[in-house]
Chains A and B, each alone.
Chain A
């Protein structure tokens, strides 16, 4: 049994001149009406309750420098500066009563003090429990919300957030289901829900939590499912993107996670087959190239051989030419000797002729000593008696000699000519051989090296291309294989997702959940009827639906339920809804796991265009709720005395006039 009963609210404000102001509002079971005109302090009572419960965030206050109260509570009252200001809130859970102390001003507003005693005995009770009420640590051991949850009988739960973390479900998250704030609260259901904890589907979750729906337990699963789904979607997108890239590169498609490629050579094949095909082809090609390269080596060695031969022959040729030149020079010298011999022969013949006319020297006396010359012997000089016969060759001897010389030279010339001819022969044969070898080499180069190597080059190029393609597809294959883990996770996630989804689908419509929701819907329809919404149009009323689709708020399939006929419909729907929550909680408390605290705080529904009749209708509904099992705190006002007359049994605090403020000067 979870209940929250507000017993009493006490304000205590002290100004700097030690003047005290205060207010004391007691509450009881059932309907509590706070009655009074505008701007006298009705809402301050509600604010006090919420502040006392440490849930000022439910009022839209998120910063500690902001104060939810009116200035007289913390700044100035009767033109006097406020020194300290605090409140005491006595609450009960049906079996235990505690009083919460919290500073509004003049003390640490982040700390609340809790004593297990009624409010009146607060200052006399010694046992004090200081609890963190604002900031981090509200759920710690000394946290106020830890205390509050366990006091009300709520279990602490952690819920997934939008940023993939976990967050506690805070009191200010469940507050919007039993507290309607004056300004924004009437615009929609759970209008003051706190979204800043990033809890996913917080409105839904809060509802399911309070009404103990099985779905809540499953909610985590569902959220997980969603996460899984998005993860799955992302992974699938990634996979398909990567696969698409590979498809584009490889001109392929996928079949049972195997990459199929459209190839020019062998059509549509799996990448493995294509790779093995390419590998085989490459092996074959490189084998051929090796073979041709071996031939190339043979060719090169043979061409080297030929080149060596040509070199040797060229050397021979050069030598032969040198020899020929030498012999030619020699021959020309011999020729000039011959010429000389011819000339000398000619001159000797002339000499021979001259001698025929030899002139006698008619000398009888020596020209030097003038003595008579003696008779001389034959072949003797008449003057010096030298032997003439042997010393100087005669023309005949000369001719003989020259003849001999000429013959010798002619023979030599002949021999040398022969030599030269032989060398010519050698030279010509060397020349022929060189020409032959060169033409052989040329032939080899132009035919063998030319065509065959052109083919070889093409082969090598095509083998290179093949190798490149092989590498390309190996890379693609590797990249395809790299996607395996992704595919595996997708598969695993898919299985998990399917399983979870089945689970979720199975539990979605538990009988108990359906019964609870049906109960709430029935109460809504009943309340709507009571409040005169849709002018009693039974069809419309019966077609009001309530399910998880819109955070468990009522809706019509074909119309905007909040704005179907008049602007006050909105208020009436919201009122019907909140009342139905309370009613359902009370009705199904035994059957379900409902932890709704059976308290409803409604701050001035009338401000929002609710007419007096509807208010009265509403109060009628409220009064029909068994008063011992719940507490409704309602602030309202009506200037009509007859209306007040109708409400007067439920008024717990009344401000009678526009100057009858909540805070009263207390005796010193």
Chain B
């Protein structure tokens, strides 16, 4: 401390203003960046293009899968259960990384909903990349890309090769009920409940 005091005092005596830049950026990783997340939603909407668009829940679920690659193979097994070339499909998504469950993710109860999704939708909407449809009662909102959005998708899709590959499996025909069931029931049952049991033991 003495040395530090001496350093400060000696600067003050010379009437110099200390100009030490103590600012450093708040390091925010892409997963927490609106820009990045929104771009991924664009990828989702771009790949799973349906005339009527996707519901918010489906977007949340797919985003969850893209966010956590470890669940992808499990999801594929469950989703394509009973189909011929399932192994080939799974093989592609054998994660080279650790298969252990990422404990940092929120253990959701219904859908892996992130409150920031609305901000992301807004982010895309104000940039006129996204539009929505709803029924007469203003319910059952479905989201779809605008023409600008489609162009934007074409621009950025090269930056997401893994996500593209994964989403390509479903050929724009994602069965929503099945998807939601796997995400909200099968995966929690086979991972977190197990973990809860282990923790309680």
Chain A residues at the B interface, C-beta cutoff of 8 Å: 336, 339, 343-344, 347-351, 353-355, 357, 359-363, 367, 390-395, 397-398, 401
Contact = CB atoms under 8 A, between A and B. Distances in A.
B118 interface: no
Given A351-B35, A392-B25, A344 B159 contact: no
Contacts of B158: 353
B129 to A, nearest CB: 7
Contacts of A344: 29-31
B156 A336 contact: no
27 contacts: A339-B97, A343-B97, A344-B29, A347-B30, A347-B31, A348-B29, A350-B36, A350-B160, A353-B158, A353-B159, A354-B36, A354-B39, A354-B159, A355-B35, A357-B155, A359-B127, A359-B152, A361-B127, A362-B127, A367-B126, A390-B25, A391-B26, A392-B25, A392-B28, A392-B33, A393-B26, A393-B28
Nearest to A363: B126
Report whether over half of chain A's contact residues are helix, strand or loop; otherwise say mixed: helix
A392 B26 contact: yes
Nearest to B100: A336
B149 to A, nearest CB: 10
A326 B62 CA distance: 37
B1 to A, nearest CB: 28
Given A354-B39, A393-B27, 9 more contacts: A344-B29, A347-B30, A347-B31, A350-B30, A350-B36, A353-B156, A354-B156, A357-B155, A357-B156
A304 to B, nearest CB: 43
A-B CB proximity, top 10 nearest? A393-B25, A347-B30, A353-B159, A393-B27, A357-B155, A351-B30, A350-B159, A354-B39, A359-B127, A351-B36
Nearest to B161: A350
A200 to B, nearest CB: 111
Contacts of A363: 126
Interface residues of B, number: 24
A119 to B, nearest CB: 141
B5 interface: no
Contacts, number: 66
Nearest to B148: A359
Contact of B29 (A349, A361, A390, A398): A398
Nearest to B31: A347
B90 to A, nearest CB: 21
Contact of B152 (A350, A357, A395, A397): A357
A385 B97 CA distance: 42
A163 B182 CA distance: 126
Task: Tell which of B23, B129, B156 has the most Cβ of chain A within 10 Å.
Answer: B156
Contacts of B29: 344, 347-348, 398
A395 to B, nearest CB: 7
B164 to A, nearest CB: 12
Task: Tell which of A347, A360, A362, A401 has the most Cβ of chain B within 10 Å.
Answer: A347
A347 B35 CA distance: 12
A609 to B, nearest CB: 133
A394 B129 CA distance: 23
Interface in B133-189: 152, 155-156, 158-160
Contacts of B28: 392-393, 398
Nearest to B96: A339
A353 B158 CA distance: 9
A339 B126 CA distance: 35
Interface string B13-56: 00000000001011111110101100100000000000000000
A656 to B, nearest CB: 149
A401 B31 contact: no
Given A339-B97, A363-B126, A354 B35 contact: yes
B27 A397 contact: yes
A515 to B, nearest CB: 134
Contacts of A392: 25-26, 28, 33
A344 B32 CA distance: 11
B85 interface: no
B128 interface: yes
B30 A395 contact: yes
B98 interface: yes
Contact of A348 (B23, B30, B128): B30
A193 B140 CA distance: 160
Contacts of B26: 391-393
B58 to A, nearest CB: 22
Contact of A362 (B39, B128, B156): B128
A349 B152 CA distance: 18
A333 to B, nearest CB: 11
A396 to B, nearest CB: 10
A339 to B, nearest CB: 5
Contacts of B23: 390
A293 B26 CA distance: 80
Task: Tell which of B97, B128, B129 has the most Cβ of chain A within 10 Å.
Answer: B97
Contacts of A360: 127
A401 B27 contact: yes
A348 to B, nearest CB: 6
B128 A336 contact: no
A397 B25 contact: yes
Contacts of A401: 27
A391 B127 contact: no
Contacts of B155: 357
Contacts of B35: 351, 354-355
A349 B159 CA distance: 8
A354 B124 CA distance: 14
Contact of A339 (B27, B30, B98, B152): B98
A394 B30 contact: no
Nearest to B39: A354
A347 B37 CA distance: 10
A388 B174 CA distance: 39
A353 B43 CA distance: 14
B27 A336 contact: no
A397 B26 CA distance: 10
A351 B31 CA distance: 10
Contacts of B160: 350
A406 to B, nearest CB: 14
B41 to A, nearest CB: 12
